[in-house]
Amino acid sequence: MLTAAEIRVRPRRRRSPYSEKQHYQEYVLQRIEGYKNSIGRDELLRLGDEAAADLQAASEGQFVLTEVLMLESVDRLIMRRLSLRSFPKWRQHFVRMRTAQRTPIHWGLEPHCPVSWLLPRLEPDDAALVIGRGAEPTAYLLAAYDVAVTYVAADIGSVEQVESRMACEALASLFEGFVTPLGPTLPAFLACIRDLDVVVIDLDALADVDPDERCELIADLQARLRAGGVHVLLPTSPRLAPGTLLPHYDGWTIEEGSRRRRRAGALRPPDGLILCRAPCPDDAV
């Protein structure tokens, strides 16, 4: 992710965006895998037999069937069954859909929501951790910008809902969801979640955490962040205001988007806090 200073001086991203061809291939793969998971073993075996018969008829026995050829043939059969769009037709729909997905209001967010301030700085394959049911919409918005999103919630229903919505919106390729209660640290099976660019926290998910454990958890989340990365504290809890956590962010910078904004000609208080970890000296601009 670009820093606030970099976005002012760099006209281009450091990483290339995903091509439409890549998105199309992911769309086809997701639909094929979804179909395979929806049918029984017997039906899948019948598909294999049909694919083998088609290959033998086409080749007239001139080459040996391999597992790779079989898999490719089965995938083509499924594509025909699902009547998947060709790339040109899919592209027309995709461009309109992705344009809409990259607006906060598509996900029920206000245009001035905290994450909206970060959108110009996001790059493909940035890594984000989104915590809590109240942060669900921001997970979708980040994924629409080709950010690799990990979503964590204590409620299995919330995780399943996000997984389903990601799949329906063709955003699932860079998404992972986990069900876990929040404690002094993330559980050991999430130890691989490191080098994050963005952490979005639904403060209502932290409200019931013991204050001492909450302090340890915030420190754990900070340690998983890259230099120059940001924590976004969402004001989703009537019991825990973003400002009360500022003592845990000594030495961090409050991003300008958190300080104030203008609406209908008047300044209004922020909807949350965007806190930036100091960049490495070599990254400073």
| pTM of the predicted model over 0.85 | no
Q: Where are the alpha helices (DSSP H) in the chain?
A: 4-9, 20-38, 41-59, 67-82, 87-101, 136-144, 156-168, 203-206, 211-223, 256-259
Higher pLDDT, 22 or 227: 227
pLDDT at 168 over 60: yes
Confidence band of 211 (pLDDT split at 50, 70, 90): very high
Q: How confident is the model at residue 119 (pLDDT cuts 50, 70, 90)?
A: very high
Buried b (16+ CB within 10 A) or exposed e, 32-66: beebeeeeeeeeeeebeeebeeebeeeeeeeeeee
pLDDT of residue 105: 95
> How is the chain split into domains, by residue range?
21-87, 109-283
Model confidence at 170, pLDDT cuts 50, 70, 90, reads confident
Gap between the Cα atoms of 101 and 206, Å rounded: 28
Domain 109-283 class? alpha beta
| CA dihedral over 5, 8, 12, 13, signed as positive or negative | positive
Q: For 9-54, what is each residue's pLDDT tens digit?
A: 655 555 566 778 888 888 888 888 888 888 888 888 888 888 888 7
In sequence order, the 6+-apart residues with CB closer than 8 A to the CB of 154 are: 179, 180, 181, 182, 205
